[in-house]
Amino acid sequence: MALPPVAELPALPLHEAGKYVAGAYVVLFALVLIYLAIMAIRMSRLERELGDLLARAQERATPERQRTQEREAP
Amino acid sequence: MDAAAQTREPSAGKVRLYGSGLRALSISTVLAMAIALGLVFFYAPLEAEQGFLQKIFYVHVPLAIVALCGFVAGGLMAIQHLRTREDRWDMRSYVAIHMSLIFAVGTLITGSIWAKGSWGHWWVWSEPTLVSFLIVFLLYATYQPLRFAIEDPERQARYASVFAIVAGAFVPLNFIAVRLSSAYLHPRVLGSTSNLPPQMALTFAVSLLAIALLYATLCKYELTVKHTRAQLRALRRSLLAQESELGRPGAGQRRGAAPSPRATVASGRPAA
């Protein structure tokens, strides 16, 4: 496909070029937003996992504390 | 080796936290992006030949430069991984390439939008700059399938590093080859930045800085999440091991207690 050099092409009028420029910037922000949404999902998964571990650790600590209290009791 | 041990600085002897400095980096990125946008739309003059359409230049070119630099950086980190055998370099190389791929998608889409506005075509196959960038993108698009097709984590990291180095060397070669090509239509940017009016050059420099900061921030986020996940899995494994040592009934039967195939991937390495 033979295209003329960019310098020889006429500039698009503002109302015509505006939609392309807006499209390009929207693409950038859409990419960032999609990435942030994926990040948010991953963070909430990590939070759940951490909560699960915390519950497990607390569950384990409770009987140990009871045993200690029983030992310390006269 | 657990995640914490893997990410220990050999000299300092303390755990590396990828999340430190993330807040400052994020704020700088947002500020730089806002300033760049302000300069693009309210400061940089309209270009005589392309008019308002040239504003795409301030997002398309920095995206392309940062993506290509990210690919090369991924290769350099892979060299470091092969030299030191430290998993953190493999993870960094993986994240750099992963993020560059996303930026390359942005480059291709914004470039196509510009081409449609300027040439009237979404894609021009006879244009070496476009096609060469597509080749680089497609080359790196095979990185992840290649990586996750290998099950053994050690081999996976080694092969991925070799790929990253070879592909990373291809990027500048490809760039030089395209620059030497005489028949092109694609506007040159790097060779002619000095010819840009000062206002345009400043806007371009700030846009480049903003996109580079965005890249760095997203890489840091990705590394932080991956590192945190690896540490959580190491913690879960050690908790499970302690429970089974104590002979606690029900150990390993809780939700998520059984290690998933992903969890068996050595900590600190990227999981699919």
Question: What pTM, to 2 d.p., does this model score?
Answer: 0.79
Put residue B173 in one of left, alpha, beta given phi > 0 → left and psi -120 to 50 → alpha. Answer: alpha
Choose among B227, B2, B264, B236: nearest CA to A57. B236
Query: Are A21 and B239 within 8 A, CB to CB?
Result: no
Chain A (36-65) residues lying within 8 Å, Cβ to Cβ, of chain B: 39, 42-43, 46, 49-50, 52-53, 56-57, 60
8-state DSSP, B6:
H
- CA–CA dist B149, B152 (Å, integer): 9
Mutation site for B-interface testing, chosen from A28, A29, A38, A58 by largest number of B Cβ within 10 Å: A28
Q: Give residue-wise pLDDT tens across range B23-33.
A: 899 999 999 99
- CA–CA dist B234, B214 (Å, integer): 30
A57 or B264, greater pLDDT: A57
Q: What is the mean pLDDT of residues A41-64?
A: 84
pLDDT surpasses 80 at B14: no
**Mean pLDDT lowest for which of B102-111, B119-128, B225-234, B241-250?**
B241-250
Q: Give residue-wise pLDDT tens across range B187-217.
A: 665 555 557 888 899 999 999 999 999 999 9
Q: What is the pLDDT of residue B268?
A: 54
Contacts of A1 in chain B (CB under 8 A): 121, 124-126
State how far residue B53 is from chain A, nearest Cα, in angstroms. 5
Q: What is the mean pLDDT of residues B240-266?
A: 54
Instruction: Please answer whether residues B40 and B55 qualify as being in contact, where contact means their C-beta atoms are separated by less than 8 angstroms.
Output: yes
Torsion sign, CA atoms B216, B221, B222, B227: positive
Q: Give residue-wise pLDDT tens across range B75-90.
A: 999 999 999 999 899 9
pLDDT surpasses 60 at B11: no
Residue where the block lists tokens 């913690």: B235
